[in-house]
Chain A
Amino acid sequence: MPNITPELGLAIAVDSDDTATYLETNLGGSLTTVDSLFNASSGHTHSGAHQGGPITSAGVADGSLTNAKLGPDVARANLLTNGGFELWQRGNGPFTANGAFAADRWTLGLAGTDTLSVSRNTANQDAGSATCAACTFTLGTGAGGTVFSQKCAGADYGQLSSRQLTLSVRVSTTVANAVRLGIYNGSAWTYGAYHPGTGGYQTLTVTTTMASGTVDGWVGVYFAASCTAYLDNANLVVGSQPANYVPLHPEEELARVQRYYEIIGIQPGAFNFTVYQAAGTAVWLPIQFRTSKAVNPTLTKNGTWPVANCNQPSFVGGGPDLFSIGATATATGTVSFNNSVSGCTVTAEANP
């Protein structure tokens, strides 16, 4: 009996048949014979797929798609806080000081005599977005070193060691070679390509691999020429491929920013405390943060609170999860304090 080829199951002739004319037919018939043999031996019904037809999901082995094969519309977890520039707990700006926070978790870093003004903007945001960051930059002696950035502290992001990360940000500007992305891996910055200045939003990207160990990472938007730029939808993902920004549920987004900054008593009059107390003794009211802080926070009492029979409230102790506010009774009797006056709040800020 003839041997069978391993792939298509074709019969191989033996002895003198190897060189003899064995099967003689027209071309169409020959190809049809081969096709039928393959189908019969493998069970495959390709229906022309190997001639350029579509590859369906059934044709892709489970677990075989790597990160490098993913398109940007494949949603992946965003490691940034407030990547959409949607939350501005410190106000709408403009923010201009070196080191100041503007949108939650995003800070200004000025180089040389450069100036940068950042404001919340609801007129020039990217499609599907509610707000963006409007940045007005004037080049001085900074030579491209001015940055609007977010820190990913190693002590806070404990699982980024040696991981490859890709940052993408939607940027709109009409000035070419003025805006680019940078990412710091704990030892060096890597920069992406400049925005072409064509106006309208473009997706800028940059990729790096984090250094090993517990190191601080930074992501930033760098400015090298005077311009106005609108920033929106920043996304930091694990892997070599950028991913489009996908908004979080608002509750989760708020919880993320409150890990670092939280305002208690936003609504005037919401905070009221009254107790009967002996003269000269203090009373303390423990308050739990809505979100545990990254580190022990600084607590700031803003405004002059209405009080009765006590001094201005102050704090005692405190930690990442709660704090205590209280006051000392001037005389035996009812002690009270409240935040009924606008601006009377407590802020907790923790910057790892």
Chain B
Amino acid sequence: MSVYVSDFTTTPWTVHHDDAPGGAHEGTVDPTTIVHTKNPAGTDDHNFLIVVCPVCQAASTHPVGGGAQPQSVQQMFVTKCQTDGCVCGQVAATDADTLAESHVRLQVNRQDGPGRWQLG
């Protein structure tokens, strides 16, 4: 089961829980509620983002490679990085969008290997 963003075009984002118990459902979330997991040291891990279902509170932790929904998840990482910068400090919110996308693409390649990138 996975909770993922199905529409980034309007804020709040539309979130879909595709195989929730009892059937699929969806709702909306504020993008700022989508946060990174913590490393054991307590710092943010830029390789994972958590999306909580607004309907049933199930929480999906997505890897930057995409996991269950590669296209949607990679887009989520790119959009978050473009908006907020990256928690690793390599990309600032004021940097060009292309830098954010390049940064996420590098993360994807490192995690799942080249060929996993699903965005154009």
Please indicate whether A and B come from the same complex rather than being unrelated chains: yes
Using a CB–CB distance below 8 Å, which chain A residues touch chain B?
90-91, 97, 99-101, 154-155, 214, 282, 284, 295-304, 312, 314-318, 343, 347, 349-352
B26-64 with Cβ < 8 A to chain A: 37-40, 42, 45, 48, 50, 56-63
**CB-defined contacts of A301 to chain B, threshold 8 Å:** 58-59, 61
Q: Produce 1/0 per residue, B66-96, CB < 8 A to A.
A: 1111100100000000000000000000000
Are A296 and B112 within 8 A (Cβ)? Answer: yes
**CB-defined contacts of A347 to chain B, threshold 8 Å:** 1-2
Using a CB–CB distance below 8 Å, which chain B residues touch chain A?
1-4, 18-19, 21, 24, 37-40, 42, 45, 48, 50, 56-63, 65-70, 73, 111-113, 115-116
Contact of A318 (CB < 8 Å), options: B2, B19, B48, B73: B48
**CB-defined contacts of A284 to chain B, threshold 8 Å:** 40
Are A298 and B113 within 8 A (Cβ)? Answer: no
A-B contact pairs, 19 of them (CB 8 A): A214-B115, A282-B38, A295-B65, A295-B66, A295-B67, A295-B116, A296-B111, A298-B66, A298-B67, A300-B1, A301-B59, A302-B21, A315-B37, A316-B38, A316-B40, A317-B45, A318-B48, A349-B2, A351-B69
**CB-defined contacts of B18 to chain A, threshold 8 Å:** 97, 99-101
Contact of B67 (CB < 8 Å), options: A214, A304, A312, A350: A350
**CB-defined contacts of B1 to chain A, threshold 8 Å:** 90, 300, 302, 347, 349
In the bound complex, how far is the Cα of B42 from the Cα of A349, in angstroms?
A: 26
CB closest residue in chain B, given A284 = B40
Which DSSP category, helix, strand, loop or mixed, fits chain B's interface? loop
Are B115 and A101 within 8 A (Cβ)? Answer: no
In the bound complex, how far is the Cα of B56 from the Cα of A17, in angstroms?
A: 104
Among A214, A282, A284, A315: residue with most chain B CB under 10 A: A315
CB closest residue in chain B, given A323 = B61
Are B115 and A155 within 8 A (Cβ)? Answer: yes
Determine how close the nearest CB of chain B comes to the CB of A156; give it in whole angstroms: 10
CB closest residue in chain A, given B18 = A100
Are B57 and A314 within 8 A (Cβ)? Answer: no
